[in-house]
Amino acid sequence: MRATVLAIGVIVLCALTVHGDIPVQKNFDLNQFLGKWYVVGMASDAQWFLGRKDKFKMSTIIMAPGEDGHLNVTLIKNKVGGCWQMDFVYNKTDQEGRFKYHSKRWNNDNDVRVVETNYDEFALVHSIKTKGDEVTMLVKMLSRGQELRSELVKEFRQYCFAQGLNEDNIQMFPKEEECQPSRNWI
Ligand X SMILES: *[C@@H]1O[C@H](CO)[C@@H](O)[C@H](O)[C@H]1NC(C)=O
99 touches ligand X by CB under 6 A:
no
Give the nearer residue to ligand X in terms of CB position, either 61 or 141: 61
Give the nearer residue to ligand X in terms of CB position, either 59 or 169: 59
90 touches ligand X by CB under 6 A:
no
Phi-psi region of 75 (alpha: psi -120 to 50; beta: other; left: phi over 0): beta
Contact with ligand X (CB under 6 A) among 28, 46, 62, 72 = 72
| Residue of 148, 156, 169 lying closest to 37 (CA atoms) | 148
Overall size of the chain counted in residues: 186
175 touches ligand X by CB under 6 A:
no
State the sign of the Cα–Cα–Cα–Cα dihedral 21, 25, 31, 32. Answer: negative
What distances in angstroms separate CA 123 from CA 13, 52, 64, one per listed residue? 28, 24, 15
Contact with ligand X (CB under 6 A) among 66, 78, 86, 103 = 66
CB 76, CB 177: distance < 8 Å: no
**Segment contacting ligand X (CB under 6 A): 27-35, 49-57, 61-69, 114-122?**
61-69
- Cβ at position 46, least distance to ligand X in Å: 20
Binding site for ligand X (CB under 6 A): 64, 66-68, 72, 87, 89, 91, 100-102
